[in-house]
Amino acid sequence: MRTRILVLGSNFAGITAAIEAKHKLGDDADVTVVSPSDQFVFNPSLIWLPFGKRDRADLTFDVAPTYEHAGVEFVHRAATRIDPDRRLVTLDDGTTRAYDYLVIATGYRNNDDVVPGFRENATTITTVDEAERAGRAWRRFLDEPGDVVVAATQGAGCFGAAYEFLFNTSYQLRKAGLHKDVKLTYVTAEPFLGHFGIGGLPHGEQLLGMFLKKEGIETRLSIGIDHVDDGALGLADGSTVPFSYAMVVPPFLGQDFLHDTPGLVDEKGYVQVRPTYQTQKWDDVYAIGVAAAVDVPWQTPTPVGIPKTGFPTEQMAHTAVANIVAQVKGEAPDAEKAFGDIPAVCVMDAGNNGVIILADKMLPPRKHGLLIPGPQAHLMKLGFEKYYLWKMRHGHVTLP
């Protein structure tokens, strides 16, 4: 009887795990992906969508043909319950799917409740729908300009996107001839500029400070957001930041239905895993990407999260698949890649400029860390976007 591998989720983590598992195990395994979305989304490009530089079609593709070509079954449904003891997953149509190995790659949802008024009075760019809403608000802003605030709330982990949107906003204001008339403010839970949720990198604070000074951007550091009113951000210290346009990055949470399985997730809905990406309680259940819990190795005055998207997500998926393949072959699942030991590889875009971020480890202590500013970073991100969408659309998940 062939091994049944079930993958929940179909973005960076899910598509990588499913296609690689099928590639490595071939006819020895039936691989099935269950996902409420039938679209792959290249999230790093969402920073451009509100400004009309991209639209939905530019950064998404239909995953069904990709899976069909790879010999992977795709089920366009949402999982609603996991029963690890019976090795069953219930779907939203009431049917169940049995598995021998389960990979949870269900991604994130926004914590819309972290700040009262956030959903009603600000925009965000963490999903395609939200980025499109941010674009509609931006077009209204251009008709009636005023002050702009870009913020990352307490507990947020996607600081890279906040910085990218901040600098792209400054670039777009210059293009619109509004730069001298609009006050642009960055509000962040980070204890210092360039913390990024990964403890910062050498000279990062100075480099980001230079960027902000050059662009005339004011900053409020290490501060939480108390509420968002119509036209003003209320901060934890009682002060306010007025705005005509606000983009706020909230914290992420795991998917709600995961809480229904006792012993599976922490209070935020993230699955607690070992360095093998097996869950703490079940050897045949894995979690990868944003869905996996990561311990924060520090405390900051205002809480910050950790970014788990992109390159770290792929590394988790490759590690999990290596262990599943070992188990199928009757071997010990001994491949390990602790999140903190995954290299940091990121390109921060800034409109027509940017920063390439490289480090030997995601989290300190590190031996090497490097930030390379310049227009080549912008060009590199443009090239990487095209390459990565081609790579994933055609199922070349083993390519770098």
Catalytic: 158?
yes
The one-letter amino acid code at 269 reads: G
| CA geometry: angle 226, 229, 231, nearest 5 deg | 125
For the chain, 400 residues long, give each residue's pLDDT as a single digit of tens: 899 999 999 999 999 999 999 999 999 999 999 999 999 999 999 999 999 999 999 999 999 999 999 999 999 999 999 999 999 999 999 999 999 999 999 999 999 999 999 999 999 999 999 999 999 999 999 999 999 999 999 999 999 999 999 999 999 999 999 999 999 999 999 999 999 999 999 999 999 999 999 999 999 999 999 999 999 999 999 999 999 999 999 999 999 999 999 999 999 999 999 999 999 999 999 999 999 999 877 889 999 999 998 899 999 999 999 999 999 999 999 999 999 999 999 999 999 999 999 999 999 999 999 999 999 999 999 999 999 999 999 999 999 8
**CB–CB of 197/306 below 8 Å?**
yes
Which CATH number applies to 118-251?
Answer: 3.50.50.60
Catalytic: 266?
no
pLDDT of residue 295: 84
Alpha carbons 240 and 242: distance in angstroms, whole number: 6
pLDDT of residue 154: 97
Alpha carbons 270 and 260: distance in angstroms, whole number: 12
Alpha carbons 217 and 141: distance in angstroms, whole number: 18
pLDDT of residue 310: 86
Number of Cα atoms under 13 Å in the Cβ half of residue 244 = 14
Tokens 């979690």 locate to 287
Alpha carbons 54 and 51: distance in angstroms, whole number: 8
Q: Which of 7, 46, 63, 158 is catalytic?
A: 158
Report the topology of domain 3-110+252-339.
FAD/NAD(P)-binding domain (3.50.50)
Q: Give ranges for CATH 3.50.50.60 in the chain.
A: 118-251
Q: Which of 156, 346, 350, 363 is catalytic?
A: 346
Q: Give ranges for CATH 3.50.50.100 in the chain.
A: 3-110+252-339
Of 291, 255, 253, nearest in space to 272 by CA: 291
Alpha carbons 47 and 124: distance in angstroms, whole number: 10
Alpha carbons 294 and 270: distance in angstroms, whole number: 8
How many residues are recorded in the chain? Answer: 400
Beta bridge partners of 110: 252
**CB–CB of 272/265 below 8 Å?**
yes
pLDDT of residue 296: 79
